[in-house]
Amino acid sequence: MASRVLVLERPSEKFLSPEPEVRLTQAFRRSFDNMVATARTCYSANGIIKEDDVSGAEHLPVEKKERKRKRRDDLARDLYEAGHHTTLQHAHFQFTLSNVSRQFLWSFLHSHPFYNSEQVSQRYVEVKPGSYAVPPLSGEALSVYQATVEQQVGVYQEFCRSLVPLVEEEYYERFPARGKRREIYGKEVQKKAQEVARYVLPVATFAYLYHTISGLTLFRYYRMALQGDAPLEQRIVLERMVEELLRLEPDYRVILQEPMPRDEMPESHALAECGDAENPERARRFIVEFDAELGERISKLVDCPAANESLVAQGVREVLGIPRSELSDDQAIAWVMDPARNPYLGEALNLDTLSKISRAMHHAHYTFQKRLSHTADSQNQRHRLTPASRPILASHLTGEPDFATPGLVRRDPAVRRRYDAVMEISWEGIRKLRGLGVSGEFALYLLPNAANVRFTESADLLNLRHKHTMRLCYNAQEEIWQASWEEALQIREINPRIGAFLLPPCTLRYQSGATPYCPEGKRYCGEPVWRLPIQDYHRAI
């Protein structure tokens, strides 16, 4: 096992912007003792082992307590080295994080399944000037970086105003009665303009959030702290998270490993064998190849096992103990996916993973090739059980603008020209930084939210169905909605008995008889979508 001595010295490089703020706000009591107590309970003939049983109660003599603690620490090391890590998952820790970049959140903190976050939304909260990370640059490089960000933020503020007439046109066409009370609904219009304007902001933009993880996830975070794309920011944040943990429970030093060196990671070895880690010409060839395969879609179904529908149907028969002669595939699929027969589908609380019949959906799988903007994928990845092979973003840099354009921007030629111009400004800033010898890691912070991210995403039907339920809603982020709509239509073509029930929440509730049909309350999108065939879905805002 690698050294378990934590090195808490700060990296020699520091961000010039306000440093990340990390606070441990909620934690299990005596979580290290609890970890060992849970392990010993597995083999206890005397019932539940408690925390005092592993570290000693206060009234015990010092020598006896020391023996208990040594036994506890030895067992903790043995468990850790043997890979018996479920005991580390009982304790959870809630952190508040501020002054952390959107790039860090996308690349690291939200790139895995085992966490929960509630973060400030750029869709609904206006971004203030100066709220962005500034990496350790100096001289001309610092001037280029700051000038580029100031122009990005300036256009964002401009778009927050100039997009309002376009949004109003769409909004009051959808809600004609509200047009007579514009003073009341002006904030809603402003938020939708802001949602589009955010595409020009840099991924350096700060966020603040609550982030809750298990002890095991924190240990994994720290071990992987130096992986791309934002190793400096990652190490700073994760050292502070670990400092907060050790301040509360220093006993965790017994099993804590240091971060894996970056040159030992397989990604580094693979890139080294293929030449430079950042090769614009190679990246260009990859993007041309990827986009040619994707075609006109932003999400293309590239793999779908032939037995998907029959596997789901057989799973239903197995749950119910009914032979094929008495329950056809059509009937079985309807029992699990038709809201008129499965009332779970009309509930707000997702019960699929606990429902015996719903778990039959695990057997069907779908794989999609996708291209989304950085900001859209930052929300898309929050569906943690539809995992993807997201890129080391620096290896995708070609030096040329490569971005998504929201539908509202495409509708107005003047706005489109301004949008394209700020995209060129963004990539020109990146090119200048790279020409000055700035690493890809720091140049990436200038990427706009609109920057394209290419990846393949796979999901079983149970989790994909839930994602489509949430993201086919007209209130969902535009690109994720578009991708989900394309996916649902493609599945209908190949697996029609399954695809017929990949629908937004209002339609599922309508078909199940639940009221009100729209569960969003005052956030109702204004369209009676439950009356529309999915082929006719259309939205501009």
518-536 pLDDT per residue, tens: 999 988 999 999 999 999 9
SS3 98: strand
Give the Cβ contact number of residue 58 at 10 Å.
6
Buried b (16+ CB within 10 A) or exposed e, 502-524: bbbbbbbbbbbebeebbbeeeeb
**Strands lying side by side in the sheet with 299-303:** 299-303, 365-373, 452-460
The per-residue pLDDT for 139 is 98
**What value does the mean pLDDT of the chain take?**
94
pLDDT at 339 over 80: yes
pLDDT at 195 over 70: yes
Confidence of residue 94 (pLDDT cuts 50, 70, 90): very high
The per-residue pLDDT for 239 is 97
The per-residue pLDDT for 1 is 42
**Cα angle vertex 189, ends 346, 518, to 5°?**
10
Domains in the chain: ranges and CATH: 21-119+206-269 (3.30.1360.170), 139-204+407-450 (no CATH)
pLDDT at 3 over 90: no
8 Å CB contact between 350 and 436: no
Q: How far is CA 96 from the centre of its chain?
A: 17
Question: What average pLDDT does range 245-265 have in this prediction?
Answer: 95
Q: Which of 336, 295, 297 is nearest to 484 (CA)?
A: 297
**Strands lying side by side in the sheet with 116-119:** 21-27, 92-101, 206-214, 116-119
**Cα angle vertex 473, ends 468, 477, to 5°?**
90
The per-residue pLDDT for 21 is 98
**Cα angle vertex 313, ends 308, 315, to 5°?**
95
Q: Which residues, including other chains, have CB under 8 Å from residue 324's CB and lie 6 or more apart?
A: 314, 317
Q: What is the pLDDT of residues 198-216, one digit of tens each?
A: 999 999 999 999 999 999 9
Q: Which residues, including other chains, have CB under 8 Å from residue 464's CB and lie 6 or more apart?
A: 366, 386, 487, 502
Region for 83 from its dihedrals, namely left if φ exceeds 0, alpha if ψ lies in -120 to 50, beta otherwise: left
The Cα–Cα gap between 230 and 104 comes to: 6
Residue 218 is which amino acid? L
The per-residue pLDDT for 7 is 45
Give the Cβ contact number of residue 378 at 10 Å.
23
Confidence of residue 464 (pLDDT cuts 50, 70, 90): very high
8 Å CB contact between 236 and 113: no
The per-residue pLDDT for 272 is 83
Q: Which residues, including other chains, have CB under 8 Å from residue 496's CB and lie 6 or more apart?
A: none
The per-residue pLDDT for 13 is 84
Confidence of residue 232 (pLDDT cuts 50, 70, 90): very high
Crossing angle between the packed helical segments 505-512 and 461-471, to the nearest 10 degrees: 100
Q: Of all residues in the chain, what percent carry a pLDDT higher than 90?
A: 86
The Cα–Cα gap between 156 and 152 comes to: 6
Q: For tokens 């959906």, name the residue.
A: 361
Question: What average pLDDT does range 253-258 have in this prediction?
Answer: 95
Q: What is the pLDDT of residues 146-189, one digit of tens each?
A: 999 999 999 999 999 999 999 999 999 989 888 888 888 989 99
Confidence of residue 350 (pLDDT cuts 50, 70, 90): very high
Confidence of residue 4 (pLDDT cuts 50, 70, 90): very low
What number of helices (H) and strands (E) belong to the chain?
A: 21, 7
The per-residue pLDDT for 118 is 96
pLDDT at 346 over 90: no
Burial class (CB in 10 A: 0-12, 13-18, 19+), 399: middle
The per-residue pLDDT for 58 is 77
8 Å CB contact between 417 and 155: no
8 Å CB contact between 328 and 321: no
Phi, psi (rounded to 5 degrees) for 22: -130, 125
* Percentages of the chain per state (helix, strand, coil), in multiples of 5: 55, 10, 35
8 Å CB contact between 304 and 459: no
Give the Cβ contact number of residue 289 at 10 Å.
10
Burial class (CB in 10 A: 0-12, 13-18, 19+), 488: buried
Residue 436 to residues 144, 151, 375, Cα–Cα distance (Å): 10, 20, 28
pLDDT at 96 over 70: yes
Alpha helix stretches (DSSP H) within 280-355? 280-294, 308-320, 329-337
Phi, psi (rounded to 5 degrees) for 372: -130, 160
Q: Which residues, including other chains, have CB under 8 Å from residue 9's CB and lie 6 or more apart?
A: none
Q: Which two tokens stand for residue 306?
A: 């032939």
8 Å CB contact between 202 and 152: yes
The per-residue pLDDT for 412 is 94
pLDDT at 456 over 70: yes
Q: What is the pLDDT of residues 25-65, one digit of tens each?
A: 999 999 999 999 999 999 999 999 999 999 887 788 888 88
The per-residue pLDDT for 60 is 84
